[in-house]
Amino acid sequence: METVLHIDDLKVHFPLKKSWPWQKTRFVKAVDGVSFEVKKGETLGIVGESGCGKSTLIRAIVGLAKATNGKVVWSGKDLTALKHKKQWQPVRNEIQMIFQDPLASLNPRITIGNIIAEPLRVHEPHLSKKQRSQRVEEMMRMVGLSPKHINRYPHQFSGGQCQRVGIARALILKPSILVCDEPVSALDVSIQAQVINLLKDLQKTLGLTILFIAHNLSVVKHISDRIMVMYLGHAVEIGEAKSLCNEPKHPYTKALLSAVPLPDPDAERNKKIQILEGDLPSPINPPSGCVFRTRCPIADMQCAQKKPLLKADENTRKVACLKV
């Protein structure tokens, strides 16, 4: 399959304010050297606990956070080298984003018809008012909204409907890549399933490539072709979704999956949850060597001295661990 997005050693470091002028500047290493590829038409799920750098990673990919180092290559262009809005405009046509909070991401003062049509006004100003209206109504039907509600405001819709408005706005330009930053975490479980199934249907219909972030591993397994697991700004394991969930190799991935609830009450009651010792280290001063070693049950002195690289095995699974 064709590679549409290539991320090479991407770093996003945020400087901390100095308490005294003579102090050395310290940095929050939100993303610290992540590399991966995204194939055309696939869904890459990105998981990890809060603070691991998932959202910062994708915000750097779409230009909403400034990359400190590394490359984001799309269609032969290094997106980290783009400095001005005019340089980003052709990229916005092809890479769109859905945000976590459906209501907060919509302007409460304008109708949903105008919200969905806004990207058309910016990127396709040659369209007439009638043409824009037709495109908006077509997209509303595609995401499961009635065109009769085109003049309603966001507060008149439920959370799930507001997220459908956000999806329609993101897809109105017919992008090739859709970036989803926890799009179902603020929704009820039944609504989550509807939105996930909608995204899968839209992917087949429009040929989308999707980057999908979520905390719920069951959701990620359901929608993803491949999964990348992040810890403290690093990618620790990447692999095919079903294989990674059934046979995790990295100790952190095993701990995450052990906490996923099971639908069988007896199995849920008897399963063993792997509890990680200690607290999440600070991204200001991460551990030497392997960043997971301070909580890893199989770490030794070698893990403190040598940083593990993300290496592929015979099954194309990539794992960053010296003990695997």
What length does the chain have? 324
Q: Is 245 helix (H, G, I), strand (E, B) or coil?
A: helix
Q: What is this structure's pTM?
A: 0.92
Give 312's strand partners.
Answer: 318
Tokens read off for 70: 């590394």
Taking a C-beta distance cutoff of 8 angstroms, is the pair 98, 179 a contact?
yes
DSSP 150-213: TT--GGGS-HHHHHHHHHHHHHTT--SEEEEESTTTTS-HHHHHHHHHHHHHHHHHHT-EEEEE
**Environment class of residue 240 by beta-carbon count within 10 Å: exposed (0-12), middle (13-18) or buried (19+)?**
middle
144: left (phi over 0), alpha (psi -120 to 50) or beta: left
β-sheet with 27-39: strand ranges across: 27-39, 3-15, 69-74, 77-78
pLDDT at residue number 150: 94
In this structure, which CATH number among 3.40.50.720, 3.40.50.1860, 1.10.150.80, 3.40.50.300 belongs to the domain 3-17+27-319?
3.40.50.300
pLDDT at residue number 44: 96
pLDDT at residue number 143: 94
CA distances from 290 to 165, 169, 202, 249 (A): 42, 41, 39, 15
Q: What is the mean pLDDT of each run of 10 residues along the chain (324 residues)?
A: 92 89 88 94 93 93 93 92 88 92 90 95 93 96 94 93 94 94 85 90 94 88 93 95 92 90 74 80 92 92 92 85 88
DSSP-derived pairing of the beta strands 234-240 and 27-39: unpaired
Other CB atoms within 10 Å distance of the CB of residue 244 = 27
CA distances from 296 to 198, 217, 275, 276, 318 (A): 38, 20, 10, 7, 18
**Environment class of residue 183 by beta-carbon count within 10 Å: exposed (0-12), middle (13-18) or buried (19+)?**
buried
Instruction: Please report, for the chain, the start and end positions of each structural domain, with discontinuous segments joined by +.
Output: 3-17+27-319
pLDDT at residue number 189: 82
pLDDT at residue number 136: 96
